[in-house]
């Protein structure tokens, strides 16, 4: 098994904004988009992407602080909504940029949860059939 090499903080920041990583981080990218907490990792990347815009809008929008805060919160909610609407596609795109074939990340996630899904199906079949 190859060693998984994490990117440094600056490379991770660039990765969070969509930049590709060097080939030495290929396995880490696959881990990033297929591990048990891959959706939380996506949330973290989305938060990093949205944070500069949220701060800038809070500073630029005129009015009382509570009005600016509500506007920024509304914008963040919309940003997170769209980010999670394309969660699977984003993860697949990141894996493909790292050199993995299309559909590989989804296959790895599917294989990791196959036992849980088959047990859930068995419970369903036992109860409803």
What is the domain extent for residue 33? 9-113
Q: Report if residue 118 sits inside a domain.
A: no
Provide the domain count of the chain: 1
Provide the greatest CA pair distance for the chain: 61
Tens-place pLDDT, residues 31-69 = 999 999 999 999 999 999 999 999 999 999 899 999 999
Closest by CA to 61, choosing from 52, 71, 53, 49, is: 71
Task: Give me the sign of the Cα torsion angle 85, 90, 91, 93.
Answer: positive
Tens-place pLDDT, residues 17-27 = 999 999 999 99
Q: Report if residue 98 sits inside a domain.
A: yes
84: pLDDT strictly greater than 60: yes
Q: How far apart are CA 71 and CA 54, in angstroms?
A: 9
What is the reported pLDDT for 113? 85
> What predicted TM-score, i.e. pTM, was given to this entire model?
0.85
Q: What percentage of the chain carries pLDDT values higher than 70?
A: 98
């Amino acid at each position: 098994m190859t060693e998984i090499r994490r990117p440094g903080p600056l490379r991770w920041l660039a990765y969070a904004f969509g930049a590709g990583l060097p080939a030495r981080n290929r396995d880490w990218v696959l881990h990033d988009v297929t591990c048990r907490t891959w959706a939380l990792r996506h949330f973290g990347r989305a938060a990093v992407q949205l944070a500069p815009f949220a701060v800038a809008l809070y500073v630029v929008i005129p009015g009382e602080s509570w009005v600016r805060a509500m506007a920024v919160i509304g914008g963040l909610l919309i940003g997170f909504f769209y980010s999670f609407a394309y969660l699977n596609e984003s993860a697949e795109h990141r894996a493909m940029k790292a050199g993995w074939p299309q559909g590989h990340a989804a296959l790895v996630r599917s294989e990791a949860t196959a036992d849980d899904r088959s047990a859930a199906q068995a419970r369903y079949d036992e109860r409803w059939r």
